[in-house]
Chains A and B, each alone.
Chain A
């Protein structure tokens, strides 16, 4: 006996406890659209058309409404990204201390121009607006995990390290120790949590990874 898999309704991410918890943490389901878009990104790698339809169904909005939200916010990506999203800050404080040079170093070392993803899907590179690391300028994020005080040379080392060590979980504390310099403030004890892909690492949206 065999089962035609196409006939079995699939258990998808939309029926998970996590989704239910997110929906029930707001007085109105529509408020869950943003966290659910993150969960969908974690599921598919980016916000796919399918994800838009599924999120719309979950929160009681039309696909067009969800799409309108997804495209308003820069962190919801509508195309597949590389394994590591490198975001280089070029706003005023980083810019005064060489942020543009860091961006050029990252573009050169990865071979990926800002705003694009490399053909091997290893790196995506972008310039970002102020990431609140002005006291540790210039600053870079890898999958939104922060490294402060990164000059062009250290930024190149960071790229080479990501390429060769290929960490499954990227941790800000680890990268700061290896490649960072001046910090905005004392970070305190290091934490085990880090990012598993190109979206913010948080327990409630299921994107948090841990490593030692």
Chain B
């Protein structure tokens, strides 16, 4: 069962063109929504679909739309294409290979929430996806699917493409809104949530590229049909980005519910050299790691959440038995230290400390006290070191840097200790 990747698989040579899109029933769902349904009816279908956001937080989309205050205008729709969670590359494929599916999703969603101005925010390091969207927007305007009086209905919609500047933090929705307002991409304190007070202080819905790409199917087939796919709480199909030590890395659109082992072996072709899986990240660099003996866990939002991690952005990173886990953790912690926006002290200072301590352990200059120091700094960022993390910061970036640290100290403490020279002046 596939929804998002059917066109690009059937028509690899031209799935990004408007000709192919229209020839494969494209824009019929937008026409149906605008001409045959009320905005409220569209919203009801999305609510009935039970689709949860595909950006990372997994919040039910229809519920989010329902938070818009009824009487405040204008409203804005912002599509989050700032995909930059390490391990994740699914939105890149959706933007590049089926840009009109994204645009049709925007038309339907904008109509459903009664909004006339939408933005697509694409990260600056994605020029090709941005070019594809730019081209597709021009085609859609020319064909009358965007602009004034769409399908002669009186409904107007402008869509602006906005290119990011190389800042992971702008994937956080309120940072993205600040960025779009021409400010530094620093997250805002919530509440107020964007649905109430978002872009330019107006009610704003921020949805991920993959979430939006599902809307044409939901309108065509009905929310109930979507809700019937897959296990309860994790309905629909979902794009998973598989990378690391696997024979066939890539994006795979699957129905959730299979185990990680089935996914990694059946889709990813297993680990090269048939080596054992030492550990894996189930949902992007922010997620706590699982070990090889947790491979039989089903891939659902709830199962992964109950086991102390998250499906997050749908990025599964596999590490085989040869992996130096300190090096892997250092790579992830460095990422967060580099991408910290600097607003909150526990994150700004803490991520750099974690990076520095891991780096000296890697250099063979670790100190016996360093394990406790790592835990102490982590505890200052996310007190109690539980999951989901307790927050001392405006956004979850800081706690994300704690995930790899607690993962290696919980599962591979002996390996970390073995890298620290015995004795020495700081012993």
Contact = CB atoms under 8 A, between A and B. Distances in A.
Nearest to B11: A188
A52 interface: no
A35 B8 contact: no
A200 B89 contact: no
B200 A27 contact: yes
Contacts of A73: 124, 164-167, 185
Nearest to A73: B165
Interface residues of A, number: 61
Given A96-B319, A144-B127, A185-B97, A134 B86 contact: yes
- Give me the 4 closest cross-chain CB pairs, A-B, nearest first: A73-B165, A30-B182, A134-B243, A75-B166
A188 B183 contact: no
Nearest to A129: B335
Interface string B62-88: 000000000000100000000111111
A81 B243 CA distance: 32
Interface in A140-164: 141, 144-146
Interface string A126-140: 001111111111000
16 contacts: A32-B182, A69-B184, A72-B167, A72-B185, A95-B328, A130-B86, A130-B335, A132-B83, A132-B91, A132-B125, A134-B86, A134-B87, A134-B88, A136-B249, A184-B92, A200-B130
Nearest to B165: A73
A30 B182 CA distance: 5
Contacts, number: 193
A203 B133 CA distance: 11
Given A75-B165, A93-B86, A93-B243, A69 B127 contact: no
Contacts of B154: none
Contacts of A195: 127
Interface of B: 8, 12-16, 74, 83-89, 91-93, 96-97, 117, 123-128, 130-131, 134, 160-168, 179-185, 200, 241-245, 249-251, 281, 285, 315, 317, 319, 323, 327-328, 331-332, 334-335, 338-339, 341
Nearest to A31: B182
Contacts of B117: 27
Contacts of A200: 124-125, 127, 130, 163
Contacts of B74: 27
A201 interface: yes
A160 B87 CA distance: 30
Nearest to B14: A189
A105 B97 CA distance: 32
Interface of A: 25-28, 30-35, 37-38, 59, 61, 68-69, 72-76, 87, 90-93, 95-97, 128-137, 141, 144-146, 172, 182, 184-189, 191, 193, 195, 200-205, 208
A137 B249 contact: yes
Contacts of A87: 125
A201 B319 CA distance: 34
A136 to B, nearest CB: 7
Contacts of B339: 129
Given A61-B182, A93-B87, A135 B243 contact: yes
Nearest to B320: A96
A191 B338 CA distance: 33
B165 A135 contact: no
A184 B335 contact: no
Nearest to B83: A132
A72 to B, nearest CB: 4
B341 to A, nearest CB: 8
A163 B339 CA distance: 32
Given A91-B331, A146-B128, A134 B184 contact: no
B184 A131 contact: no
Contacts of B83: 132
With a 10 A CB-CB cut-off, give which of B13, B15, B92 has the most chain A CB atoms: B92
A35 B331 contact: no
Contacts of A201: 127, 131
A203 B134 contact: yes
A73 B315 CA distance: 24
B86 A91 contact: yes
Interface centre among A74, A128, A130, A191 (most CB of B within 10 A): A130
A146 B130 CA distance: 13
Contact of B166 (A68, A74, A205): A74
Contacts of A187: 96
Nearest to A205: B163
B183 A69 contact: yes
A184 B317 contact: no
Given A132-B83, A135-B251, A34 B130 contact: no
Given A134-B315, A136-B249, A137-B249, A74 B165 contact: yes
B32 to A, nearest CB: 28
A25 to B, nearest CB: 5
Contacts of B96: 187-188
B331 A92 contact: yes
